[in-house]
Amino acid sequence: MEKPILIGSYDPGSFGGVVRHISQILKYSSHNFVTFSFETMPEYLKKLFYLSIYAGIKDNPPSILYSKRYKDVSCIHAHGLFPLTLGRRLKSTYHNPVILTLHGTIFQKYTLEHFRNSGKSKFYERYYRLFEDLLDDVDVILTVARWISSQLKSSFGVDSITIPNMIDTQEVLKSIDHNLFSTFNLTPSGYILWLGARVDAPGCKRPEDFIRVAREFPDEIFVMAGKGISRESIKKVVGYDLPSNILFYDLVGMFGPSKSYSAFLTLVKNAKFSILTSYYEAFGYVILESLTLNTPVIVPDIGGPAEIVNKQVGMKYRFFNTDSLLRKVEKMLKIWDKYKRRNLRDYVEARYSSKIVVKKLDKIYDMYC
Half-sphere exposure of 310 (CA within 13 A, CB side): 5
Of 236 and 301, more confident: 301
- For residue 325, pLDDT over 60 is answered with yes
Residue 30: the pLDDT is 94
- Of 81, 136, 145, the C-alpha closest to 108 is 145
CB neighbour class for 224 (10 Å; exposed up to 12, middle 13-18, buried from 19): buried
Is 37 in contact with 107 (CB distance < 8 Å)? Answer: no
Specify the CATH number for 5-166+353-368; select among 3.40.50.2000, 3.40.50.300, 3.40.190.10, 3.30.200.20: 3.40.50.2000
**What kind of fold does domain 169-351 have according to CATH?**
Rossmann fold (3.40.50)
DSSP state, residue 74: S
Q: What type of residue is 251? A: L
Nearest to 213 by CA among 315, 337, 339: 315
How far apart CA 166 and CA 304 sit, in angstroms, is 13
Give the number of other CB atoms < 10 A from CB of residue 201: 13
- Closest by CA to 193, choosing from 288, 294, 283, 272, is 272
* Span 249-258, pLDDT tens digits: 999 999 998 8
pLDDT digits (tens, 9 = 90+) for 156-208: 889 999 999 999 999 999 999 999 999 999 999 999 999 976 555 545 678 89
CA angle 21, 25, 30 (to 5 degrees): 170
Q: For the segment 26-64, what is each residue's pLDDT rounded down to a tens digit?
A: 999 999 999 988 888 899 998 898 888 778 777 888 999
Q: Between 274 and 20, where is the model more confident?
A: 274
- pLDDT for residue 159: 94
Identify the sign of the CA torsion 149, 97, 33, 15: negative
State the pLDDT at residue 163: 96
**All structural domains of the chain with their residue ranges:** 5-166+353-368, 169-351
The residue count of the chain comes to 369
Give the per-residue pLDDT at 12. Answer: 42
Kindly state the average pLDDT of the residues 108-127.
58
Long-range pairs for 203-208 at CB < 8 Å and ≥24 separation? Answer: 203/110, 203/114, 204/110, 204/111, 204/114, 204/278, 204/279, 204/280, 205/277, 205/278, 206/277, 206/278, 206/279, 207/234, 207/237, 207/238, 207/277, 208/238
Q: Evaluate whether 5-166+353-368 and 169-351 have a shared fold.
A: yes
pLDDT(109) > 60: no
Q: Which of 78-82, 93-97, 207-211 has the lowest mean pLDDT?
A: 78-82
Average pLDDT of the residues of the chain: 88
352/20 Cα distance (integer angstroms) = 13
> Helix (H, G, I), strand (E, B), or coil: what is residue 139?
coil
% of the chain beyond a pLDDT of 70: 90
Predicted TM-score of the model (pTM): 0.89
Q: Is the pLDDT of residue 110 over 50?
A: no
- 114 pLDDT higher than 90: no
> What's the average model confidence in pLDDT over 288-296?
97
pLDDT band at 129 (very low <50, low <70, confident <90, very high): confident
Q: Residue 13: which pLDDT band, with cuts at 50, 70 and 90?
A: very low
pLDDT digits (tens, 9 = 90+) for 330-342: 999 999 999 988 8
State residue 16's pLDDT score: 67
What Rg value do the Cα atoms of the chain yield, rounded?
21
